[in-house]
Amino acid sequence: MSTSTESAPKTLSWKVGGMDCASCATKIRGAVERLPGVGDVRLSVMSETLTLVLDETQTSAATVEKRVNGLGYTTAALAQAPVVKPAAEAGACCGGHGHSHDHDRADHGHDHAGHDHAAHKSGKAAGGDEADRGHGLPGHVHEATPEGARWYRTGKGRLVLVTGALLAAAWIVGAVRHDIAYWAFLVACLIGVAPVAKRAFAAARAGIPFTIEMLMTIAAIGALFIGAAEEAALVVFLFAVGEVLEGVAADRARASIRALGALVPKTAIVEENGVGRQVDATSLSIGQIVLVRPGDRIPADGEITDGTSGIDESPVTGESVPKTKGVGEPVYAGSVNREAALRIRVEKAAQDNTIARIIRLVEEAQEARAPTERFIDRFSRWYMPAIVGLALAVALVPPLLFAGEWSVWIYRALALLLIGCPCALVISVPAAIAAALSAGARQGLLMKGGVVIETAARTGLVAFDKTGTLTQGRPRVTDIVALGRDGRDVLALAAAVEAGSAHPLAEAVLERARADAVAFVPAAEAAALAGQGVTGKVDGRTVFVGAPRHATSRAPFDRSAHAAVESLESAGKTVAAVIVDGMLAGLIALRDEPREDAAAAMAELRAMGVRATMLTGDNARTAAAIAGALGMEHQAELMPDGKVAALKQLAAGTTVMMVGDGINDAPALAAAGIGIAMGSGTDVALETADGAVLKSRVSDVPAMIRLARAAMGNIRANIAIALGLKAVFLVTSVLGYTGLWVAILADTGATVLVTANALRLLRFDAGKPA
């Protein structure tokens, strides 16, 4: 930690070990905000970082660390505080990504350990009080298993071993010497409960008295006073076991996000003046040329300047089939170069590459709490004091009013305290949300938080932009109508005249000629006629390619030619006439065709009971043709503000999801109930949207809705499990059928059960229709 003598407040940052949930963040926030000279406290649960502004003339950094350590967490100062911006700007930043992975070949590159998430920072998490307020029981410390470390090397793991050994020793001593058995269990209980009590009182001093540690301490000490030392020691041991199990389960949900960061290599080979040198990948700057050998992972987002190779983008997009890419085409950090050496110009800095953006989006999403989670948070605020009040009533009322035995009713009250802990309930939602977000990220489906998941699950209508979303975004030749000559000859003549043009329609003609292996020689005297078409000389013949309405003045069109033009245009296609020396040689039809999976995706949405409509700025005839082929509703000739108005009208009766890819879609994405950007789209669309489909597949839209519905089903099941078990054991504890050790076992069991159920979502295949 920097210790400058300057008096100006400084931004400092720590890695906080064991901060696994929003309630942990709440406790830390409450503890450090009370220190003089501390301000702008920001925590990121996903990256386990604490950032604050500190006036060291009032409070030292060591004092902050001591306060956090007293709550049962570990702290490690970071050399540089992550840059944290407000939520509105979060998309543009992602701190410094401290990846520490070897630049391995792809065959070995999957086994990266030691990824340091410390420098990742969520702007949304840091910026909003609601995000950091905590999901329930504030004192429930979860200690994540450090990456690569065994459970028994963690603090909680060592507590399990110590309390287990003490308990076993007490049983052995008790079997040999019955007269000292009580004292053996007393010692085992006190040693085991000491670290728990320390955390409990530290939290109480910070103004948070109702914690699981406090309940645990009261129950254990209370049991000792009524002579139940053996059960008290057993309860402490089971509590420690439960903490370890919860920590391991929570860390599994975080592991898939760590794995994303492990995809980016640590080093890169930069070429300067023909000489290559190895540098840190995080130091790459825009414009540098990097050499990527066959088998290497690509170190940065960029553009190929030399070479052609098969690129495996599955680590980034989930797309399993490698794509052949050449000069001028984009590539993404973390992708694997499979075939030949490539030279790539860096287009984005390390903190802005695709992997970094995915991690940032998921980290932000972890902090954007679902409405259900916020409700449970509010519920737990009065539930905990109510349980404590009920336990007091159980302990006092029967003995005072009905001559009940004090030891019996105090014992039942202590059991009630333990079973009343709402840990399973408050973790049921965030555990499922975290697992769903991680599963989605691995499958190329990004959703920015629990509120997005809940909204997506309720979606009743999906509105799609046309160009670049439902379609490829570029025209393709669909029909060649030859009139009096061979179709390949018509294509060759058109390609010869279009050879020098960069117009999208010209590129489509040239692409079709290459695909059909049609040979042609670029035309002589080629010229573009503004608003009409292009003309040129091919083997001494004058060739014109242009719209039929301009071609009719250059050549006669008979009835069949007019009918062919009308038929093609009614199908929403753009028609180009090919005229040779004043005679119509043929017609070429082009259209921006729907993506291959678009029709199947519409069928999936219908099967799920979700309507689909297309909102486009294109002309009505083309929109009707595309929508008709896909079996969906449509509205055409809409400007960006028109799309917003249409969405508001559609949203009157149901939850609407908008899917788009361009800058012109950004207002509509923001206005919809939930906005989803296609991964191939613009940065503006990706940052404005509530989520993204990175594979740019239309079928991923129903997949995202399926994942959201599965997550909400999982949450409902978790809540039912948690409340059901609590209800049963609350009754049995008051009636005396279950004791202390059963109570803590039921509480821990319920917490582990709902966490394990949530982790099932990590294996959910969203692409498979139910």
Range with the lowest mean pLDDT among 152-156, 217-221, 492-496, 637-641?
A: 152-156
Q: How far apart, in Å, are the Cα atoms of 692 and each of 25, 258, 441, 478, 767?
A: 28, 20, 10, 30, 15
Structure tokens at 101: 């992975």
**260 Cβ neighbours under 8 A, 6+ residues apart:** 334, 355, 358, 359, 362, 441
- Spell out a b/e string for 537-546, using b for 16 or more CB atoms within 10 Å of the CB, else e: ebeeebbbbb
* Rounded CA separation 456/701 (Å): 10
Structure tokens at 569: 């245009």
Q: Which of 356-365, 404-413, 495-504, 538-547 has the highest mean pLDDT?
A: 538-547
pLDDT bracket for residue 584 (50, 70, 90): very high
* Rounded CA separation 660/471 (Å): 11
Query: 428, 452, 289, 283: which is closest to 362 by C-alpha?
Result: 452
pLDDT over 60 (residue 148):
no
- Of residues 605 and 311, more confidence is placed in 605
* Rounded CA separation 498/505 (Å): 9
* Rounded CA separation 359/364 (Å): 9
Q: How far apart, in Å, are the Cα atoms of 518 and each of 78, 471, 495, 545, 574?
A: 62, 26, 9, 17, 22
- Rounded to an integer, the average pLDDT of 128-147 is 36
Q: Under a CB-based contact definition with an 8 Å cutoff, are residues 101 and 266 in contact?
A: yes
Instruction: Enumerate the H helices of 19-133 as residue ranges.
Output: 22-33, 61-70, 123-127, 129-132
Strands 74-77 and 330-331: unpaired
- Spell out a b/e string for 45-63, using b for 16 or more CB atoms within 10 Å of the CB, else e: bbbbbbbbebebeebebeb
* Rounded CA separation 97/9 (Å): 25
Tens-digit pLDDT profile for residues 541-573: 999 998 888 888 889 998 999 999 988 888 878
Which pLDDT belongs to residue 303? Answer: 93
Strand partners for 529: 533
Which pLDDT belongs to residue 143? Answer: 40
Which pLDDT belongs to residue 374? Answer: 65
Which pLDDT belongs to residue 687? Answer: 63
pTM of the model as a whole: 0.63
- Rounded to an integer, the average pLDDT of 601-628 is 88
**427 Cβ neighbours under 8 A, 6+ residues apart:** 21, 135, 136, 246, 751, 754, 755
Structure tokens at 184: 């053996």
Mean pLDDT of all residues in the chain? 78
- Of residues 763 and 3, more confidence is placed in 763
**625 Cβ neighbours under 8 A, 6+ residues apart:** 570, 571, 572, 573, 591
- Of residues 205 and 105, more confidence is placed in 205
CA angle 251, 253, 257 (to 5 degrees): 100
Which pLDDT belongs to residue 465? Answer: 87
Tens-digit pLDDT profile for residues 65-80: 988 888 888 898 886 5
pLDDT over 80 (residue 265):
yes
Strand partners for 243: none
**291 Cβ neighbours under 8 A, 6+ residues apart:** 269, 270, 271, 276, 341, 342, 343
* Rounded CA separation 578/586 (Å): 5
CA angle 7, 10, 15 (to 5 degrees): 140
**374 Cβ neighbours under 8 A, 6+ residues apart:** 130
- Out of 296, 465, 592, 661, pick the active-site residue: 465
Residue 465 catalytic? Answer: yes
Range with the lowest mean pLDDT among 38-47, 399-408, 701-710?
A: 38-47
Q: Under a CB-based contact definition with an 8 Å cutoff, are residues 355 and 293 in contact?
A: no
pLDDT over 80 (residue 192):
yes
* Rounded CA separation 428/379 (Å): 14
* Rounded CA separation 24/699 (Å): 38
Query: 494, 446, 507, 389: which is closest to 701 by C-alpha?
Result: 446
Which pLDDT belongs to residue 317? Answer: 58
Query: 101, 151, 515: which is closest to 268 by C-alpha?
Result: 101
pLDDT over 60 (residue 405):
yes
Query: 754, 755, 762: which is closest to 719 by C-alpha?
Result: 754
Q: Any idea of the CA torsion for 413, 414, 420, 426, to the nearest 10 degrees? A: 160
Burial class (CB in 10 A: 0-12, 13-18, 19+), 264: buried
* Rounded CA separation 467/598 (Å): 12
pLDDT over 80 (residue 198):
yes
* Rounded CA separation 436/512 (Å): 42
- Rounded to an integer, the average pLDDT of 432-440 is 84
- Of residues 124 and 170, more confidence is placed in 170
Range with the lowest mean pLDDT among 143-147, 171-175, 712-716?
A: 143-147
- Of residues 402 and 358, more confidence is placed in 402
Q: Under a CB-based contact definition with an 8 Å cutoff, are residues 496 and 523 in contact?
A: yes
pLDDT over 50 (residue 119):
no
* Rounded CA separation 535/690 (Å): 48
What order of strands is seen across the sheet that includes strand 611-615?
445-447, 691-693, 674-678, 655-660, 459-465, 611-615, 633-635
